[in-house]
Chain A
Amino acid sequence: MKRISLVLAILVLLSLSLVAGAQDPVTLTVLVEQGGVWLQEAAAAQFEEETGHTVEFVNVPYGSVFDRLSAEMATGGSAFDVATIDVVWMSHFAPFAEPLDDLFTDEVVGDLFASLVADAQIDGTFIGMPTWANTEIIFYRKDLWEDADEMAAFEAEYGYPLAPPATWDEFTDMAQFFTRDNDGDGEIDMYGTDVKGGVADFEWMIAVLQAGSPGVVLDADNNIIIDNDAHVAGLEYYISHHCDMDVAPPNVNEIDWGVAENLFYQSQTAMFRFWGHAYRLTRGDSPIADLVGAAPMIAGPGGVGAIPGPWFNIVPKTSQNKDAALQLVQYLYDHNAMGIEAPLGLAARKSAYAQYADVEGFENLNPLLATLDSPQTIGRPAVGDWQQIADEILGPIGSDALTCEHDVAELLAWGRAELEAMGYE
């Protein structure tokens, strides 16, 4: 009896100490850009209600997230308890970020896309919890693809039914088919697709993965693979729509993501490859507002492939409210699906996407799921100088290739030499 009383007394004391140790409400400051506010504010508001903590979003322009956090890192202090950062900044901020290994249980890892699990780690340590993942998929005009006359004409010309393109060859066929001079004035009124030379440092990498490369530029061990066969095939395919076929607007260097999006929504292109979130942001006053269809990214010889654009929540080591910050990161993961109702309509968990995939108005989610879940959807190498590689090597290679005057293999050989000069092997 005495022993039972003693155990009970210890239990009472323990529970009292737990209550006494419960966190006082704190204000958690979260550094984000606009997308981070949209996608996380609903879950954060619920977190506030449930925990008594306050979440304050510090919203800065996209590039300023990096500048602001870099300044904090350089001073060894931080006003932020959580920062929502782009995947390309992960290795830069890794020394500044609290390890999150405890949050990555088997269940968590199993519900995240493989590329996100890979991107969340730097040198084997989890430092960021994915909060949303975007990637490029196919957008097409349903009024064209579902038109009986167009379907018949396409099948008669190419020998197979018109459906959203699934392969490189189908994409090329359809781009050629829909490139039109509607009024016969010698000017093309609608192009089949676009070639985004304004983001040449990124776009041709996607084709490289579709061609079957185990990664872009560097392999998993950071060895140079920029001149492998898949890089050659991918770059050749990327420029072919401009250099060989004229199925894209000729001013390729002026076409970045924003321009490409406007061209499509102003019905000047029939289909294009673009970030999946755009489906939910279709403007009501666009001439094709109700006519947009979405399909998974096309497959090359290596299968469906894309480069994911995930964002991660990291907890700076200098946070004064680390426990509450970790609690918030966990909560945002647990309630990840709430972001799908936000304007960008994105999440990081497979289950979150699956939950909405068959809901009307979310027709982009199945294509996003299929693309993000493909083995050839692989993140960019987690090296600190990735931005330098993109700016000084990948961009020039893409731009030079789009002049249609260079041998692709020679350009990639130059890329290898530049990487070697940076210390890669």
Chain B
Amino acid sequence: MRSPFASRALLMLLVALIVLVYGFPYAFLVSTSLKSPQAALAIPPTLLPQQLSIENYANIGEHPTVQRSFGNSIIIALLSTVITIALAVPAAYAVARYATWAGKAFLFVVLITRLIPPVAVGIPLFVIMRALGLIDTHLGVALAHSTISVPLGIWLLASFMESIPRELEEAARVDGCSRFGALLRIIIPVASGGIAVTAIFVFLASWNEFLFSLLLSSTGVKTAPIAIAEFKTQYSIQWGTMTSLAVLFSLPVIIFSLLMQKRIIAGLTVGAVKG
């Protein structure tokens, strides 16, 4: 029989291995960003910078478009998160509370929309947004991102809502709350952990999205992923600049995730055990 210590050591080793596999590309990204532009291109590449250089970061100041694109990404991601949560919460609540045949069918259809590749809806979305005059606007891109996120949001939130005891809501109704009031005052606060998790996923999906942002933006609302990709031109890839921008691009998400870590874990386990 294996001792608890051995089991724990094995587990830790496994965890370390997984962290290494997932962490290495990011560590190499950070390392490359801290090399001089010339050293970033060395063949064979070195794992660590032989001389630390912040030249790549300093060069970012030369690209005002990139700086603006970070602002656009934040605005669009926040807008998309608000739109998605506003639509997904009532939809998920309805599906969870009215466990009808239609509700299940609705969930299934919502799932199917997740299976459609974004490239297939890119052009129809472009036509719609142009007709609405929303090309190259924050709202237009945020709405497009919401088409990806709303199905995800409904599915995530529906499972959270199902885990909330009906008795809570019924008690509120007995005390004179309307159904909408119960949703607002009881269900949403109780499901706040799940809503936070959903919001994080939605924010991330919008933050990283490329195709819709490319199709629906011109100069006004260009997002950071597109601005970063512009450093890969027909003839060259500016690895130094790209890696430094990628590090900066990832920082808000990492910081946000660390700050919300407890909430995320709590939210993810809400629906795990049903009574």
Contacts and interface: CB of A to CB of B under 8 A. Distances in A.
Interface of A: 29, 33-35, 56-62, 64, 67-68, 71-72, 74-75, 77, 79, 86, 134, 257-259, 261-263, 265-266, 268, 275, 277-278, 281, 283, 285-286, 309, 344
Given A33-B233, A275-B235, A263 B43 contact: yes
B234 A62 contact: yes
Interface in B103-150: 122-123, 126-127, 130, 135-136
A259 B235 CA distance: 11
B130 A285 contact: no
Contacts of B234: 33, 35, 62, 86, 309
B236 A285 contact: no
Which of A33, A61, A68 has most B Cβ within 10 Å?
A: A61
A286 B36 CA distance: 11
A266 B43 contact: yes
Given A79-B135, A262-B43, A61 B237 contact: no
B232 A262 contact: no
B43 A34 contact: no
B170 interface: no
B229 A61 contact: yes
B123 A74 contact: yes
Contact of B215 (A71, A77, A275, A344): A71
23 contacts: A34-B231, A35-B233, A35-B234, A57-B219, A59-B219, A59-B230, A60-B226, A62-B232, A62-B233, A64-B214, A64-B229, A67-B214, A67-B215, A71-B122, A71-B123, A75-B130, A77-B130, A266-B42, A266-B43, A268-B43, A283-B37, A283-B38, A344-B235
A75 B125 CA distance: 10
Contacts of A283: 37-38
Interface in B21-54: 36-38, 41-43
A278 B43 contact: no
B239 to A, nearest CB: 9
A60 B233 contact: no
A64 B226 contact: yes
B250 interface: no
Contacts of A266: 41-43
A283 B43 CA distance: 16
Contacts of B232: 61-62
Which of B211, B214, B235 has most A Cβ within 10 Å?
A: B235
Contacts of B38: 283, 285-286
Nearest to A260: B43
Given A77-B130, A79-B135, A286-B38, A259 B43 contact: yes
A162 to B, nearest CB: 26
Interface residues of B, number: 29
B60 to A, nearest CB: 16
A392 B266 CA distance: 50
A34 B230 contact: yes
Contacts of B211: 67
Contact of B235 (A60, A67, A257): A257
Interface in B189-237: 211, 214-215, 218-219, 226, 229-237
B36 A285 contact: yes
A71 B235 contact: no
Contacts of B126: 71-72, 75
A308 to B, nearest CB: 13
B218 A278 contact: no
Contacts of A71: 122-123, 126, 215
A140 B84 CA distance: 58
A275 B125 CA distance: 39
B163 interface: no
A262 B41 CA distance: 6
B237 to A, nearest CB: 6
A216 B108 CA distance: 52
Given A61-B226, A285-B36, 19 more contacts: A33-B233, A34-B233, A56-B218, A58-B219, A60-B226, A60-B230, A61-B230, A62-B232, A68-B215, A71-B123, A79-B130, A257-B235, A257-B236, A258-B236, A258-B237, A266-B41, A275-B235, A281-B236, A283-B38
A29 to B, nearest CB: 7
B159 interface: no
Given A71-B122, A268-B43, A283-B37, A60 B214 contact: yes
Contacts of B215: 67-68, 71
Nearest to A76: B127
B240 to A, nearest CB: 11
B82 to A, nearest CB: 27
B50 to A, nearest CB: 13
A262 B38 CA distance: 9
B67 interface: no
Nearest to A72: B126
Contacts of B226: 60-61, 64
Nearest to A70: B123
B130 to A, nearest CB: 6
Q: Which 5 A-B pairs have the closest CB atoms?
A: A61-B229, A262-B41, A58-B218, A285-B38, A62-B234
Contacts of B135: 79
A275 B234 CA distance: 11
A62 B37 CA distance: 21
A202 to B, nearest CB: 12
B22 to A, nearest CB: 25
